[in-house]
Structure 1
Amino acid sequence: MKALCLWHATDEELKYVKAAIPSGTELVVPEGEYFSRFECTYLSIERHAVDADVFLGWTIPEGISEISKNLKMLSYFHSGVDDLGEIGFLAHAKKCGIKIANVRGANAIAIAEQTMMFVLALAKQTVTRNEASRERLRSFPLFAEETRSAMLSGQTIGVIGVGNIGSHIAKCAKAFDMRVLGVRRNKDRHDEYVDSMHGMDELHSVLAQCDYVVLAAPHTGQTFQFLGEAELAVMKPSAFLVNCARGALIEEQSLHKALTTGRLRGYAADVWPYYAWPRFFPAQMEPRLQLHRLPNVIGSHGEAHNADGLLERYIEFGVENVVEFINGTPLSREVSLDLGY
């Protein structure tokens, strides 16, 4: 069995991987220099890719799957695999019988913490008040509707997508004495921190009840831009929306309209819409309508997972996938090639 690391691993990382995988497994790495050590090029792995049984890492160079005739399994160091669908690898894997496992759950706590930071920052007007503090400005008159904070305690939060991340968000929300409504594909799968679980067919009913809505759903063909004008129209004008999943879940034009007409109080995101070729024309790697510049919007730029211990956890989960595959045991994080997550 030959396993190929798709990143320029440090000596310490290689030591960890070698100690974890079954003896007799050949472990190889990219050759040559790199710009980012978490990437590799076609030329840097070509020699090893042709007969590798297993890939593990963050990226796949263009064209490498076509020469990897012996590939049986990919351990992908991400929670979402929608980008693999964009490059055609999911279809390739299904056609060739290649198993894919991700590292879902590895970043769940970090993403949940970032999400609750956004919820609090929106509710407490953190950015605005920090800027006012720098200028030594105080709100006047006191308790005006436009300047006072929103509360979390006793309010309703809807978590759309109750998986590993969504479950942690629900747990955090309960610590603030919030009522938690959940929406997931299979509403019969209950969660101990969700007060009421609902199916996607009940989405509008759930949105209408919420003071805060968090998107934590995977990006698939079924969820692409599923939150649009009709969904925003049923939300409370006083509600806040947070997206910690994928920018493509929201229809940008409708969101921009809601935020600029008072239909939605505020928005926060770690992820933004991007319009990549060939699905979109012209290609644009940022919001077309400059959502991130609106005064009632705050965000980060895909940095929620950039936290203490996450790199080590990604590698740990990813290596566990490889060990399970080599040992012939069921993959605990196997991706459904039909569902796309």
Structure 2
Amino acid sequence: MTKLFAITRMDVSPIAADWPKELRQSVRFQWFKSAEEAAPHLAEMEVLLTSGNVRTEWLAEAARLKWVHCLSAGVDRLPLDYLKQRGILLTNSSGVHSVQMSEYAMSMMLQWVRRSRVFMEMQQARQWRGAPTTDELYEKTIGILGTGQIAQAVAPKARAFGMRTIGYNRSGATTEGFDQIYSGENGLIQLLKESDFVISILPGTKQTRHLIDLPKLKLMKPTAFLINMGRGYVIKEDDLIHALQAGIIAGAGLDVFEQEPLREDSPLWELDNVYLTPHISGNSPKYIERAAVIFNENLKRYVNGDTLRNKVELDSGY
């Protein structure tokens, strides 16, 4: 019998709620809220379900471990080198964020062009005065860094508002829903120059760390708005702060940061041209429901000896 352990504070009890008979008979599922709670049982674990924060020292106790599934799409908090050394398979929940994060991106852009902060301040001050100048998404260009499933959900929504959609990926492969795909250093430069809105959905890897720094920010339009909902360290934060303070770019919507929680003395808290949220763009009341569909399909494949989906390449980190 396959011994599946979930080690996460997230309520994963719905994962097994609708298992068919064959899974119930072939998989023993146990949920632990911490590694400390799971410690006496680690030697038995064959499959690990985690929200992504795993330490090498207690994985070493799991001698029978063959497969780790991450409930998130990002796996940069996992010990990838150790998993590779052990020959442990890693899969993720790519696709679980598509709906909510694409809606988040649209909401950030709409708040910016429609000046929602100004009107909220007017409401709170009980002021009825001349309306500030607003803008439109119509005929603007949105450039998306990363063209995976989240980006593929953003693109048609942006097109519905009459936006031109361009994307950046490693391979340059065409992607449905985009008017243009760029790749390579020259492609990144071109996207930054053309875009009215730049959205980063890039994973956190050695290659993407500080991909967007001050020289890259200076390529953007002074009217451009930058949204980061991928990983905080893709953008060099001190350079971004300077760009926002100096008017190199017009504004930013940030859900992720180099250090989380965002430190209390960060200038980002006080900038009028910044919208901040505490890493919640992927939150949804349907999160576990969607994650369960992805994981349970792979669990059936694992039990049957079939190839798993959403396999993470441990060298690249995605």
- After TM superposition, the score normalised by the length of structure 2 is 0.92
Query: Take 1:177 and 1:248, find their aligned partners in 2: how far apart are those partners?
Result: 31
Whether the 8 Å contact between 1:7 and 1:58 is mirrored in structure 2 is yes
State whether structure 2 residue 124 is matched by structure 1 residue 134: yes
Q: 1:53: which partner in 2? A: 46
**How many residue pairs end up in the alignment?**
314
Secondary structure (helix, strand or coil) at the match of 1:111 reads helix
Residue 78 to residue 10, structure 1, CA distance change in 2 (3 Å): closer
Q: 1:161: which partner in 2? A: 146
Match of 2:137 among 107, 132, 152: 152
Residue 319 to residue 6, structure 1, CA distance change in 2 (3 Å): farther
Identify which range, 56-65 or 75-84, moves more after superposition: 56-65
Residue 193 to residue 20, structure 1, CA distance change in 2 (3 Å): farther
Cα distance, 1:17 vs structure 2: 4.9
Q: 2:189: which partner in 1? A: 204
The within-5 A match list for 1:1-341 is 1-7=2-8, 12-17=14-19, 21=23, 23-30=25-32, 39-42=33-36, 44-60=37-53, 62=55, 63-84=57-78, 89-138=79-128, 140=130, 147-187=132-172, 189-201=173-185, 202-274=187-259, 286=263, 289-341=266-318
Residue 293 to residue 329, structure 1, CA distance change in 2 (3 Å): farther
Q: Which amino acid is the alignment partner of residue 7 of structure 2?
A: L
Cα distance, 1:7 vs structure 2: 3.6
Q: Which amino acid is the alignment partner of residue 215 of structure 1?
A: S
Q: Which amino acid is the alignment partner of residue 49 of structure 1?
A: L
Residue 60 to residue 252, structure 1, CA distance change in 2 (3 Å): closer
Query: Take 1:166 and 1:253, find their aligned partners in 2: how far apart are those partners?
Result: 26
Secondary structure (helix, strand or coil) at the match of 2:302 reads helix
List alignment gaps of at least 5 residues for structure 2. none
Whether the 8 Å contact between 1:272 and 1:286 is mirrored in structure 2 is no
Query: Take 1:214 and 1:23, find their aligned partners in 2: how far apart are those partners?
Result: 45
Secondary structure (helix, strand or coil) at the match of 1:29 reads strand
Residue 54 to residue 104, structure 1, CA distance change in 2 (3 Å): same
Query: Take 2:167 and 2:13, find their aligned partners in 1: how far apart are those partners?
Result: 43
Cα distance, 1:149 vs structure 2: 1.4
Cα distance, 1:150 vs structure 2: 2.1
Whether the 8 Å contact between 1:3 and 1:27 is mirrored in structure 2 is yes
CA distances 1:262-308 after superposition (whole Å, capped 9, x unpaired): 11111001212217xxxxxxxx7538633133111012111122223
Secondary structure (helix, strand or coil) at the match of 1:115 reads helix
Query: Take 2:129 and 2:246, find their aligned partners in 1: how far apart are those partners?
Result: 23
Identify which range, 210-219 or 21-30, moves more after superposition: 21-30
Q: Which amino acid is the alignment partner of residue 182 of structure 2?
A: H
Overall identity of the aligned pairs, in %: 26
Query: Take 2:126 and 2:47, find their aligned partners in 1: how far apart are those partners?
Result: 59
Cα distance, 1:222 vs structure 2: 0.4
Q: Which amino acid is the alignment partner of residue 254 of structure 1?
A: D
- After TM superposition, the score normalised by the length of structure 1 is 0.86
Q: Which amino acid is the alignment partner of residue 25 of structure 2?
A: S
Q: Which amino acid is the alignment partner of residue 74 of structure 2?
A: G
Query: Take 1:19 and 1:59, find their aligned partners in 2: how far apart are those partners?
Result: 29
Residue 247 to residue 230, structure 1, CA distance change in 2 (3 Å): same
Secondary structure (helix, strand or coil) at the match of 1:83 reads coil
Whether the 8 Å contact between 1:252 and 1:289 is mirrored in structure 2 is no
Cα distance, 1:246 vs structure 2: 1.1
Cα distance, 1:176 vs structure 2: 0.6
Query: Take 1:61 and 1:54, find their aligned partners in 2: how far apart are those partners?
Result: 13
Whether the 8 Å contact between 1:6 and 1:59 is mirrored in structure 2 is no
CA root-mean-square deviation = 2.1
Cα distance, 1:311 vs structure 2: 2.2
List alignment gaps of at least 5 residues for structure 1. 31-38, 276-283
